Amino acid sequence: MHMLLLVVALVIATAVGYKLLRAVPPMLHTPLMSGMNALSGVTLVAALAIAGAFTMGRYLGAMAIVLAGINIVGGFLVTHRMLKMFKKHRGEDNS
């Protein structure tokens, strides 16, 4: 893919992300961070490319897959656990 296109994608994603993320209330900052953390495991995609591409990359790539995979799976599940705890009990009398 063209380098320039990637730069454009970088700028757009940063701007859109910045705008959306600022709307997240402080109450949800820990789950937000943990969710973003899970997303950073997206580098798994690069590891897949590496692991399939060449001999030397196989083992480093496999290691990277394991690490990034734990990051993604663990991150999303931890976030899920946290988010499920947030409840509004007396929703009926002051919603």
Partner 1 sequence: MSGAWYMAGIVACVAGVIAGIRLMNSPRTAVLGNITGACALGFGVVLTLFHEGVATNLLVLGALLLAGILGGMLAYAVKTIHMPQTVALLNGLGGAASALVGLAILIGVDVVAVAERGASALALMVGAVTFSGSLTAAGKLSGLLPQQPVQVRRYRLYSTVLAVVLLGAALLLACNVGAQTVAPVALVVALGLGVLFAIRIGGADMPIAISLLNSMSGISAAIAGFAVNSLLLVAVGAIVGAAGFILTRIMCGAMNRSLRVVLAGATTTNARAATVEPDTAPTSDTVPSKPEKPDPVTLLREAETVVIVPGYGMAQAQAQMQVKQLADMLQERDTPVRFAIHPVAGRMPGHMHVLLAEVDVSYDLLFEMDAINDDFSSTDLVLVVGANDVVNPAASTAEDTPIYGMPILRAGEARHVIVCNLDDKPGYAGVPNTLYEQDNVVLMEGDAAETLKTLIAKLTDA
Site string for partner 1, 15-34 (x = CB under 8 A): -xxx-xxxxxxxxxxxxxxx
Q: How far is CA 42 from CA 4, 38, 94, 95, in A?
A: 21, 8, 40, 37
Q: Does 1 bind partner 1 (CB under 8 A)?
A: yes
How many residues lie near partner 1 (CB under 8 A)? 85
Least separation in angstroms between CB 71 and partner 1? 4
Least separation in angstroms between CB 4 and partner 1? 11
Q: Does 37 bind partner 1 (CB under 8 A)?
A: yes
Please, which residues have CB within 8 angstroms of residue 75's CB and are 6 or more apart in sequence? 34, 35, 37, 38, 39, 40, 41
The three-class DSSP label of residue 29 is: helix
Q: Does 86 bind partner 1 (CB under 8 A)?
A: yes
